[in-house]
Amino acid sequence: MDANKNDNPNMPEALSSAEYRTRLSTKLNCLIAVLEVAIAKISKSMDLPGANEERLLKIRSNLENTLSICHRAKTTLERTGGVTKAAAVRGLDKSEMTARDYVELSSIDEYRKFRKMPPITKEDLGTLDFDELARRLTES
């Protein structure tokens, strides 16, 4: 069995693979756990004297929005047999904005920005420093 077979996001059958979906679900659960810990830390920081409450509320709101998206993704992953396959069956063009785009993106400019960006690759994930990412999320 090829270990990298299901790591290509352009493969329509990738999400229909139980093995791939299990790995994806595990990663999603880890991200949810990290977000929940970060939210708890922000809540504790708000109780400290001299805390910048406005800044912490903004950070917590951003983390909670991200957590909400992760929960929706998890629900979708559990419910569907393959998002990519379903999109192919409906004949969706990548340049068309979907209902999901309207919900998840804050503006048409953000949609255009993300539409032009290439997909996140396995190499991108391999070079990601999760500690640095968590620090940046809690600082902004």
Q: Nearest to residue 70, comparing CAs of 28, 38, 108?
A: 28
Q: Structural domain boundaries of the chain? A: 13-139
pLDDT band, very low/low/confident/very high, at 2 (cuts 50, 70, 90): very low
Outline where 8-129 has alpha helix (H).
18-46, 53-79, 83-90, 99-104, 108-116, 122-126
| Global pTM value | 0.48
Predicted confidence (pLDDT) at residue 42 exceeds the cutoff of 70: yes
pLDDT tens for 79-131 read 765 444 444 444 444 556 666 666 677 777 887 887 888 888 888 888 888 88
How many other β-carbons are positioned within 10 Å of the β-carbon of residue 60? 19
pLDDT tens for 44-69 read 888 888 889 899 999 999 999 999 99
Q: How far apart are CA 139 and CA 50, in angstroms?
A: 16
Q: How far apart are CA 98 and CA 138, in angstroms?
A: 31
Predicted confidence (pLDDT) at residue 6 exceeds the cutoff of 80: no
Instruction: Please enumerate in sequence order all residues whose Cβ is within 8 A of that of 58, keeping only pairs 6 or more positions apart, or say none.
Output: none
Instruction: Please enumerate in sequence order all residues whose Cβ is within 8 A of that of 85, keeping only pairs 6 or more positions apart, or say none.
Output: 12, 13, 15, 16
